[in-house]
Amino acid sequence: MEDNGIKHSGGGIGSANTGTGVVSSGLDLSTNNSTSTTSSSNPAKASPPISHHAITNGQSSLHEESGGTHPLYGHGVCKWPGCENMCEDFGQFLKHLNSEHALDDRSTAQCRVQMQVVQQLEIQLSKERERLQAMMTHLHMRPSEPKSSPKPLNLVSSVTMSKNLPSTSPPNLPQTPTTPTAPITPMAAMPQVPSVLGGANVPSMGAMRRRHSDKYSMPLSSEIAPNYEFYKNADVRPPFTYATLIRQAIMDSADMQLTLNEIYSWFTRTFAYFRRNAATWKNAVRHNLSLHKCFVRVENVKGAVWTVDEVEYQKRRSQKITGPSLVKNLPSSLGYGTALNASLQHEAEALFSFSLFSPLPHASSTPPFFLPPLDPEGYLKNLTSMCPCPVPHRPPVHVKEEPLNMDDDDCPMSLVTTANHSPELDDDRELEEGNLSEDLE
């Protein structure tokens, strides 16, 4: 059996943020974001709005906090860096904050450290943006265009949201970085890449609003692995078909079989997108399981489990690959769509049958859109040599017996803060980050 897996590095796009300001000058994050909804609606995901006021006045912004919310307080814990003091209520937190984190050398130093943390993240973001820009330039994609008006970053999901979730985010949804004021995500922050997330501003597109992204973007694992945190936290629909994702879920299981509920769990755990509209995508999952012959239902001791008939899967895939367009489109006509020829993508997906989360040493340095336009065979040989198949299955990442209930997940998350704050996902993170660490550098 085998899994997918090649690499893709994502990154935001837009003007590079230099992020080179000296620490003492402070970061403009807090002030820049002061007009956004970040600090008020998602206190846990925003970097603490450190300001001179906050530094010079222990009570500072506390007066501005209403309803017992504070960026430094959440889940009954003081979120001052390195503190994590338990506070029964907001009042106790305020007392604690004023007593333990008053203006002194220590607090000031910690504040500076936090500034550096934020600064480093900004620099990293800037680098990722530059990388993405270079990738797009290389691929002859349209250059960045000024965004006329702020759109929901999660262009795809916003469609669904607008359709099924009228105006407000349901309380059970994680606050993802895809809120319009948080341009964090690699793809979602690319208004100039409508081919991937296009059609979002169309109020109610039909079913196929992003199938092309499955064809023209990179294979499953290459897309997900380096952006694991992204997909896990950002409300962006993964650009893969349900069948592909289901297969990946099953392949990621220790024994190559999952119950329906475990497949559900994999979806919700792996993709923030699938933490909403459960009825819709679960129905789609069931539909795909029944529809495709490559998914085989097996009765075992614990009930019905679903497995992948790899022969059927590859057969079905090869049918698509052997379409007339394969050879025809090999020459690189480097529009974003044609460059990533669908057939090649499918071929690559079949070839790069590594586990989604399996360590793949060479992969992290592999550009995402690296399919050779002219010498697929030689390239395939290389790939084969790099990854002898069948690939020994990676250490099991068990998703079974998880009391996971993503539908109840109300923990705010962001690409930055999830590393520290995602209680419902921490267990998964412990399991999976080990396997992902190589992929994610």
Interface contacts to DNA, rule CB under 7 A: 160, 163-164, 195, 199, 205-209, 211-212, 214-215, 240-243, 259-261, 264, 277, 280-284, 286-291, 297, 303-304, 306, 319-320, 323-325, 337, 342
Q: List Cα–Cα distances, 221 to 181, 235, 404, in angstroms.
A: 28, 18, 23
Report, in Å, the least distance between residue 387 CB and DNA: 23
Q: Whose Cβ is closer to DNA: residue 97's or residue 156's?
A: 156
Q: Is the peptide bond before 390 cis (omega within 30 degrees of 0)?
A: yes
Q: Which residues contact 171 (CB under 8 A, 6 or more apart)?
A: 410
Alpha-carbon distance 315 to 24, whole Å? 61
What residue type is assigned to position 332 of the chain? S
Smallest separation, CB 222 to DNA (Å): 17
For the bound state, the minimum distance from the C-beta of residue 288 to DNA, rounded and expressed in Å, comes to 6
Per DSSP, helices labelled H in 272-361 are 278-291, 310-321, 325-328, 336-339, 342-351
Q: 332: burial class by Cβ within 10 Å (0-12, 13-18, 19+)? A: middle
φ/ψ of 26, rounded to 5, equals 75, 165
Nearest-approach distance from CB 316 to DNA, in angstroms? 7
Q: To the nearest whole angstrom, how small is the minimum distance from the Cβ of residue 402 to DNA? A: 13
Judged by CB, which is closer to DNA: 100, or 309? 309
29: which 2 tokens? 């994050």
CB-nearer residue toward DNA: 87 or 243: 243
Question: Could you tell me if 333 and 339 are in contact, meaning their C-beta atoms sit under 8 angstroms apart?
Answer: yes
The alpha-carbon radius of gyration of the chain (Å, integer) is 23
DSSP code of 180?
A: T
CB of 127 to DNA, least distance (A): 31
Measured from the CB atom, the residue of 29 and 339 that comes closer to DNA is 339
Q: Which is nearer to DNA, 34 or 318 (CB)?
A: 318
Q: How far is the CB of 356 from DNA (least distance, A)?
A: 16
Task: Answer for the pair 415, 175: CB distance below 8 angstroms, yes or no.
Answer: no
Give whichever of 45 and 210 is closer to DNA, judged by the CB atom: 210
Using alpha carbons, select from 175, 220, 147, 193 the residue that is nearest to residue 39: 175
Q: Pick between residue 8 and residue 212 the one whose CB is nearest to DNA.
A: 212
CA-angle at 5, arms to 13 and 212, nearest 5°: 55
Question: What residue ranges in 36-109 does DSSP mark as E strands?
Answer: 73-74, 77-78
CB of 97 or CB of 258, closer to DNA = 258
Closer to DNA by CB, 138 or 297: give it. 297
Instruction: Give the H or E element holding residue 298.
Output: strand 295-300
Q: Identify whether the C-beta of residue 151 lies closer than 8 Å to the C-beta of residue 198.
A: no
CA–CA distance, 93 with 71 (Å, rounded to integer)? 12
CB of 317 to DNA, least distance (A): 8
CB of 159 to DNA, least distance (A): 8
359 — phi, psi (to 5°)? -60, 135
CB of 111 to DNA, least distance (A): 44
Percent helix, strand and coil across the chain, each rounded to 5?
45, 5, 50
219 CB neighbour count, 10 Å cutoff:
28
Residue whose CB is less far from DNA, 85 or 261: 261
